[in-house]
């Protein structure tokens, strides 16, 4: 006994019901890939911005502490160095012999609500 082959009419109905499913699957896949790529780029951009902020904070604190030891305006020197490194000096405090600074750097292509990253540093003789 041989299995019966479906009629051509049955095949035509089946073909029509499957038409377009590959397109939907491919479009969905491309959408997911784009979302993952965008999220990855945002995270990478934030990591790079944080590294820049930390470097700017370290340099600003060292410059300010050195200027302070030489009798100059520590916070002004720290602000100048932060600005030269693409950052903004948010906080500058002289605590005992140390200088504490906080700087911020804007995120590239910032996501609303996440416009900048901050970093802190401390420098002094001890």
**Cα(64)–Cα(79) distance, integer angstroms:** 8
Q: Does the residue 8 lie in any domain?
A: no
pTM above 0.95, yes or no: no
Nearest-5° Cα angle at 89, 59 to 109 = 95
For 66, the domain range is: 21-123
**Residue 75 or residue 2, greater confidence:** 75
Quick check: is 39 in a domain?
Answer: yes
Q: Residue 20: its pLDDT value, please?
A: 79
Within a domain: residue 105? yes
Nearest one of 80, 81, 78 to 91, comparing CA atoms:
78
Looking at the domain assignment, is residue 116 inside a domain?
A: yes
Task: Write the burial class of residue 72 (CB in 10 Å: 0-12 exposed, 13-18 middle, 19+ buried).
Answer: exposed
With 80 as the cut, is the pLDDT of residue 25 above it?
yes
5-22 average pLDDT score: 66
H or E element in which residue 36 lies: helix 21-69
Statement: residue 97 has pLDDT above 80: yes
Residue 5 within any structural domain of the chain: no
Higher pLDDT, 109 or 90: 90
Structural domains counted in the chain: 1
Residue 99 lies in a domain: yes
91 is a domain residue? yes
């Amino acid at each position: 006994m041989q299995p019966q082959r479906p009629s051509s009419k049955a095949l035509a109905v089946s073909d029509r019901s499957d038409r377009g499913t590959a397109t939907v699957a491919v479009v969905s896949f491309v959408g997911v890939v784009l979302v993952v790529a965008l999220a990855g780029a945002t995270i990478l951009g934030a990591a790079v911005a944080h590294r820049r902020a930390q470097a700017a904070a370290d340099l600003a604190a060292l410059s300010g502490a050195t200027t302070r030891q030489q009798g100059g305006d520590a916070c002004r020197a720290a602000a100048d160095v932060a600005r030269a490194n693409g950052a903004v000096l948010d906080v500058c405090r002289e605590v005992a012999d140390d200088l504490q600074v906080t700087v911020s750097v804007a995120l590239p292509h910032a996501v609303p609500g996440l416009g900048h990253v901050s970093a802190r540093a401390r420098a002094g003789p001890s």
